């Protein structure tokens, strides 16, 4: 089992223990750590990038209770320094937050957000029309999102019934796929792309 430090920490570097190293079918290696700062791919956003013991992490995936860090070379058991790429983390977080803000703005306009994809260069939210919602004007959605951005609200993090919830004083959190994702983003100050 991997302790997911990214749930509660914004640290960019720490020490961890390699507890397992398995060969992958493609010739790379899956490194399991006792704890990680690396956010795996999921929730509509790509995995964190970074390094384990100086090796570039090429992918990060959840595998049950563990997180697999995909690298090009095997690593022996023992202590390693892990470091995420802070620029890519901030970009992914900002795109994810912006997507959830647009989703909530669309929902307030009568549309139901049904899927989000928050990857650089291809971000999008898919909506289904609601029973009473006409097609919202893009300018109205942007105005709502900009008003939330201007509020510059701090992030609120809670754990309840085994679920992590991220939101703010004015944004509710909704469960998805056994986890809780914000209907309104994890409002980190200046979290929107400009």
Residue indicated by tokens 């970009």: 91
Residue indicated by tokens 């398995």: 22
Are 115 and 128 spatial neighbours (Cβ–Cβ below 8 Å)?
Answer: no
Query: What is the per-residue pLDDT for 38?
Result: 96
Query: What is the per-residue pLDDT for 183?
Result: 41
Write the pLDDT tens digit of every residue in 51-79.
Answer: 999 999 999 999 999 999 999 999 999 99
Query: What is the per-residue pLDDT for 166?
Result: 67
Query: What is the per-residue pLDDT for 3?
Result: 95
Are 24 and 70 spatial neighbours (Cβ–Cβ below 8 Å)?
Answer: yes
**In the chain, where the domains are located:** 3-84, 88-182
Query: What is the per-residue pLDDT for 98?
Result: 85
Query: What is the per-residue pLDDT for 153?
Result: 73
Where helices occur in 69-112 by DSSP H, the ranges are 86-108
Q: CATH number for 3-84: choose from 3.40.50.980, 2.70.98.40, 2.40.30.130, 3.40.50.300.
A: 2.40.30.130
Where the chain has pLDDT below 70, the residues are 133, 155, 157, 162-194
Query: What is the per-residue pLDDT for 96?
Result: 85
């Amino acid at each position: 089992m991997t302790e997911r430090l990214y749930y509660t920490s914004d640290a960019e570097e720490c020490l961890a223990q390699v507890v397992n190293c398995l060969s992958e079918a493609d010739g790379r290696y899956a490194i399991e750590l006792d704890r990680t700062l690396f956010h795996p791919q999921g929730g509509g956003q790509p995995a964190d990038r970074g390094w384990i013991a100086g090796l570039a992490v090429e992918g990060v995936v959840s595998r049950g209770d563990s997180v697999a860090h995909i690298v090009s070379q095997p690593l022996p058991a023992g202590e390693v320094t892990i470091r995420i790429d802070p620029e890519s983390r901030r970009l992914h977080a900002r795109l994810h937050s912006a997507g959830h803000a647009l989703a909530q703005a669309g929902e307030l306009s009568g549309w139901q957000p049904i899927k989000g994809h928050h990857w650089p260069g291809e971000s999008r939210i898919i909506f289904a029309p609601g029973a009473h919602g006409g097609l919202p004007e893009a300018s109205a959605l942007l105005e709502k999102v900009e008003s939330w951005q201007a509020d510059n609200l701090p992030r609120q993090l809670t754990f309840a019934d085994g679920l992590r919830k991220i939101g703010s004083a004015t944004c509710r959190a909704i469960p998805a796929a056994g986890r809780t994702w914000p209907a309104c983003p994890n409002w980190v100050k200046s979290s929107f792309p400009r």
